[in-house]
Amino acid sequence: MSQLSPQVLLEAANRYGTPLYCYDANQISEQYAKLKAAFAGCDARFFYAAKALTNQHILKHILSLGCSVDCSSINELKLAQLAGFQSGQILYTSNSVDFSEIEEAVSLGAFVNVDSLSALEKFGKKYGNSYPLGLRLRPNIMAGGNLKISTGHADSKFGIPVEQLDRILELVRQYDIRIHTLHIHTGSEIKEASVFIQGVHFLLSLAPSFPHLKVIDLGGGFKVPYHPSEKGTDLVEISNSLRDIVALHAQQTGQSLQVWFEPGKFLVCESGYLLTKVNVIKNNGPYSFAGVDTGLNHLIRPMLYDAYHVIENCSNPTGSLKKYQVVGNICETDTLGADRELPEVREGDILVIKNAGAYGFEMSSQYNARFRPAEVLYKDGQLQLIRRRETLEDLIRTQENY
Ligand code: LLP
């Protein structure tokens, strides 16, 4: 597995300052190659879930690998187009959007998934059978790393509940809508292959009701290991069952279906490193705090999801081990890593927070009026700045009459 060395990371921090997101292009290529290899025996297609990381350089790199893209907002769709994705390569999976966004996605030629009866009816009235459509369904499957990132369960806002199938079919008939795709996304960080297989059975059980169907879309959610004790999803197990189940379905029904996936974390998570400088060491009673120049404003996952991210000390890898609370500089509790055994941490050391490529920069903010980090891409042995650090002008650029 491709891993950036502490030397490269220190060089990046020296050259571009901290806090800094650094991405390894090679790692993204390797992840895509793993997907292709695992699903080689299936008619499968991959749409990168751009919400994980939308920097143009990352999107262009992913496009260059031959991957398509899944967008969750009209702006993601426009960013994907700007990076060079063509309409046949763009999927737009909406939720709770104004219908005008769906109209815009149609006008831009994307594959569109709708996730409410309301949108389905509006779509039918406006487009009838003139534009193929995908339906996001709620399968009532509980899956995912934690409740906040579980999306397919019976209390979820996502998708049209399968209990409303009769109404779906009524609308489809009434407006002669061509349902091209049946879609589910049950959650993120799903480690069990069986959840995906359950999803396939769910979609195939509904497929015969949709004679124009070409695709079943299982969404994203492949797990990547964050903690050293974790394992990723077994893709080969999914692929082997998928191939057989889809082939049997084709034999029994005459419906030949392609399978789509929308991996986000799987493609970019492990490529990303958040580099941060230690500003202050503070010994408060039983705790040694290492106070760094980043925080929940730049990586919200630990505070929002109790997510674990490996932290290492790049500057003093051979120091004697001590326990630290690695905390941010935001004016509220923002623990990036609790009770972490690290080689002695000194003020000025550079720490790296790993697996920060997915939903890291993308969920960052300017809270406490701090600048968001710069971003750097390591590709072909070179570091390249792909987003400059913000300035005070960036903080006030959109404010009027001050
Ligand atoms: N497709 C749809 C429709 C989705 O909603 C998502 C993620 C994906 C694909 C990609 O899922 P992935 O392969 O990345 O697990 N911010 C959270 C994750 C939220 C995921 C939202 N939807 C986190 O940092 O864990």
Which of 371, 327, 383, 382 lies closest to 351, judged by CA?
327
Task: For residue 85, give both structure tokens.
Answer: 């994705």
Residue whose Cα lies nearest atom 9 of ligand 1: it is 220
Residue 140: pLDDT over 90: no
Mutate to test the pocket of ligand 1, among 137, 182, 233, 262 (most ligand atoms within 8 A of CB): 262
Assess whether 42 carries a catalytic annotation. no
- Mean pLDDT over residues 380-390, rounded? 97
* 285 band by pLDDT with thresholds 50, 70 and 90: confident
| Chain centroid offset of residue 63 CA | 16
Closest CA to 61 of 72, 50, 74: 50
Q: What is the pTM of this model?
A: 0.97
> Could you report the per-residue pLDDT of 22-64, keeping only the tens digit for each?
999 999 999 999 999 999 999 999 999 999 999 999 999 999 9
- Which residue owns the Cα nearest ligand 1 atom 24? 359
Q: How confident is the model at residue 208 (pLDDT cuts 50, 70, 90)?
A: very high
Kindly tell me if the per-residue pLDDT of 1 is higher than 70: no
CA 141/CA 184 separation, integer angstroms? 10
Retrieve residue 168's tokens.
Answer: 């779906």
Mean pLDDT computed over 352-357: 98
Is there a contact between 84 and 297 (Cβ–Cβ < 8 Å)? no
Query: Rg of the chain over CA atoms, in angstroms?
Result: 23
Quote the mean pLDDT of the chain.
96
Bond into 19 cis (ω within 30): yes
Evaluate whether 113 touches 93 at the Cβ level (below 8 Å).
yes
Domains of the chain and CATH, by start: 39-263 (3.20.20.10), 269-396 (2.40.37.10)
- The answer to whether 376 and 386 have CB atoms below 8 angstroms apart is yes
Residue 224 CA to ligand 1 centre (angstroms): 12
Average of pLDDT values for 181-194? 93
The residues, ordered by sequence, that sit 6+ positions from 219 with a Cβ below 8 Å of its Cβ are 93, 183, 184, 185, 186, 261, 262
Per-residue pLDDT tens for 146-165? 888 888 888 888 899 999 99
Which residue puts its alpha carbon closest to atom 11 of ligand 1? 220
pLDDT of residue 150: 80
The active-site residue, picked from 22, 67, 269, 331, is 331
| Ligand 1 proximal residues by C-beta, below 6 Å | 49, 52, 70, 93, 149, 185, 188, 219-222, 262-266, 301, 305, 358-359
